[in-house]
Chains A and B, each alone.
Chain A
Amino acid sequence: QVQLVESGGGLVKPGGSLRLSCVASGFTFSDYYMTWIRQAPGKGLEWVSYISANGNYTKYADSVKGRFTISRDNAKNSLFLQMNSLRVEDTAVYYCARDATTVRSDSFDIWGQGTMVTVSS
Chain B
Amino acid sequence: DIQMTQSPSSLSASVGDRVTITCQANQDINYHLNWYQQKPGRAPRLLIYDVSDLETGAPSRFSGSGSGTDFSFTISSLQPEDVATYYCQQYETLPHFGQGTKVEIK
Contact = CB atoms under 8 A, between A and B. Distances in A.
A108 B97 contact: no
Contacts, number: 49
B98 interface: yes
A18 interface: no
A61 interface: yes
A14 interface: no
Contact of B95 (A95, A106, A112): A106
Count class of interface residues, chain A: 20 to 34
Contacts of A113: 43
Interface string A3-38: 000000000000000000000000000000001010
A111 B45 contact: yes
Contact of A105 (B43, B91, B96, B98): B91
A73 interface: no
Interface string B35-66: 01010000111100110000100000000000
A44 B99 contact: yes
B95 A47 contact: yes
Nearest to A114: B43
A40 interface: no
A112 B38 CA distance: 13
Chain A facing B: main interface SS: strand
B71 interface: no
Interface in B49-106: 49-50, 55, 87, 89, 91, 94-100
Contacts of A107: 34, 46, 49-50, 89, 91
Given A106-B91, A107-B91, A109-B55, A46 B46 contact: no
Interface string A27-64: 00000000101000000111100100000000101000
Interface of A: 35, 37, 44-47, 50, 59, 61, 95, 100, 105-109, 111-114
CB-based closest 8 A-B pairs: A106-B91, A111-B43, A47-B95, A45-B97, A107-B49, A44-B100, A106-B95, A109-B46
